[in-house]
Structure 1
């Protein structure tokens, strides 16, 4: 099932359908305390950021990859031209909480640049090859990559 999902991930219809299901995924993730996100098809977490305008906590399901003790996430927004709100929230306030398998973990986000960004991009694409398609769809917009390190 995972291999099929990874293949389907390139389709524009898939991105639209999944984007429309984000509110349901967010609800399921919240109800299960992050134990079930993205139907368990890809490594996923809930991230809670602080709204940059509202100051209200905002929770979103995200695919992630591990890099040491950190999590790596990408603001692809399914290939849309607009930046995802959670990424803009992290730029305004890099503190966040990750909920993974029922555990809340405070993290601090840093924007990946240069050689580190390229290395992390390769990890992300290995997990979700459709990210390459999302870059094309986004029309060259800068797709931001964040490292979420545990906040001691």
Structure 2
């Protein structure tokens, strides 16, 4: 008999950069996008990688326009993102805004489109979460850092809004 101890396999929680670092990177990314007038900062997803898009929401309290750059994958005509708030607790403001006003606009590397947002549920959520796991092997570990379930957000294309001309009588 051997007195050798077998190493115990433990799941190590993924490391997340400090909040100040995450927020700085977000600000720099938005700044580069702004300075280059949108020529840099957005990209299409690749086979084993997510892309970046800019979503423009209506503020739930102010009614003002807000924008944020997010990672996404494609699912047919739909764009799929995660409401992860940098893996910190709490829902990101953009997701709260979309819950209050689901119709929004996204800018992609190859143009913009109008969308309507909803949280995936049940089998749809499981399937889309698995799609993200193909890209991020630590997805479950990162999600475990949050005290609430991370919403899988579906951005579905919608027709361009039709505005009736204002007729003076």
Where do 1:56-95 residues align within 5 Å?
A: 56-95=64-103
SS in 2 for 1:12: coil
TM-score (norm 1): 0.82
CA distance in 1, matches of 2:127, 2:96: 22
Unaligned runs of 5+ in 2: 1-13, 160-169
Q: How high is the TM-score relative to the length of structure 2?
A: 0.74
The change in CA–CA distance for 1:34 and 1:74 in structure 2 (over 3 A counts) is farther
Q: For 2:30 and 2:104, how far apart are their aligned partners in 1?
A: 16
Number of aligned residues: 142
Q: Which has the larger radius of gyration?
A: 2
Runs of at least 5 residues in structure 1 that lack an aligned partner in the other structure: 1-9
Deviates more, 1:90-99 or 1:15-24: 15-24
Q: Partner of 2:58 in structure 1?
A: 50
CA distance in 1, matches of 2:62, 2:53: 23
Higher mean C-alpha displacement, 100-109 vs 75-84 = 100-109
1:117-136 → structure 2 map (5 Å cutoff): 117-136=125-144
Aligned to 1:103: 111
